[in-house]
Structures are given as structure tokens and as C-alpha cells.
Amino acid sequence: MLGRLFPVEEDESLAEAFWAVARTLRHRSKESLAPWDITPSQSRAVMTLARHGTVRLSALSEHLRIAPRSVTEVVDGLQERGLVERLPDPHDRRATLVRLTDKGTELATAIRAARVADAEGFFGVLDDADRAELGRILRRLRG
């Protein structure tokens, strides 16, 4: 599969091979989100909220590692579609909380299932030992 989207050269560096796989995964991720007409940034926000629950906008910005202004735009788009709602923070009048609606929770479940299926297809070329080794290496590189 990788070779069809990005030709694999035998003499490519480890970094080149890594970035080719990363591009393929990004491409596949965009394709997997197409049925829901959701951007990768919106998807990341939905999945972060599914994992962390109700959070301040500032915390969501930190989780996503994007500027507060950008997280506001992402949340605006999700709120327009009825996927999230904003709430006043009962402990700080200046802060705003954001949480998934029931529709947003359903979307998170559907995206998670699609990603699991896609990952199975992508990583299916690896045997169990290779998958375990790749997982170990990636966890080590993440720090």
C-alpha cells in the first residue's frame, strides 16, 4: 500500500521512510474522515474531548498544541454542527468549558471504529512480532 502512494526507494534514509509512512497515514486519515465531512483538526478536538471530557478551552488548546485563537475556530465549527457545547466555568467567570454533545459522542465512537479498521488494514502487512516491535520503537521515540 505504501508503495502505491509514495514510491519506496531501497536507498532512502530512515527519516525519508518515516516521513513517507507519515504522509500515507495522514492521507488515509483524511480519507477516513470524509464520510463525516470533518477536518483533521476538528476530529482531533472531538477525540480529545471524548478522552478528557469537559475541559476549558485553554486546556483543549494545550491538548491539541494549537493557539487559543485556533482552538476557538475549531470549536466554533464543531458547535455550529451540534457536536460540542460551550458552558460557563462555575469556578472562573472568565473561562469557558467545552464538552461533546450526544451527537459529538456518537461521532467520536464512529471515528474511533473507522480508525481501528483502517489501522488494521494498514498495519495488517506486519506480523505480530513486527507490530510489537514497531509499537515498542514508536513509544520510545515519543518519549
Q: Could you read off the pLDDT tens digit of each residue along the chain, which spans 143 residues? A: 444 555 555 667 888 989 999 999 989 988 989 999 999 999 999 999 999 999 999 999 999 999 999 999 999 999 999 999 999 999 998 999 999 999 999 999 999 999 999 988 899 999 999 999 999 999 999 88
Determine, yes or no, domain membership for 93.
Answer: yes
Residue 92 φ then ψ, to 5°: -155, 110
Q: Would you list the DSSP string of 77-131?
A: HHHHTTSEEEEEETTEEEEEEEEE-HHHHHHHHHHHHHHHHHHHHHHTTS-HHHH
Percent of residues in the chain assigned helix, strand, coil, to nearest 5: 70, 10, 20
CA pair distance 133, 101, nearest whole angstrom: 38
CA distances from 134 to 82, 117, 141 (A): 38, 18, 11
Determine, yes or no, domain membership for 32.
Answer: no
Determine, yes or no, domain membership for 5.
Answer: no
Supply the pLDDT for residue 135: 92
Determine, yes or no, domain membership for 22.
Answer: no
The length of the chain, given as a count of residues: 143
Give the CATH number for residue 101.
1.10.10.10
- Domain of 97 in residue numbering reads as 38-142
Determine, yes or no, domain membership for 20.
Answer: no
Determine, yes or no, domain membership for 11.
Answer: no
CA pair distance 48, 83, nearest whole angstrom: 13
CA pair distance 48, 90, nearest whole angstrom: 22
CA pair distance 9, 2, nearest whole angstrom: 11
CA distances from 98 to 22, 47, 71 (A): 30, 13, 11
Supply the pLDDT for residue 132: 94
Total domain count, the chain:
1
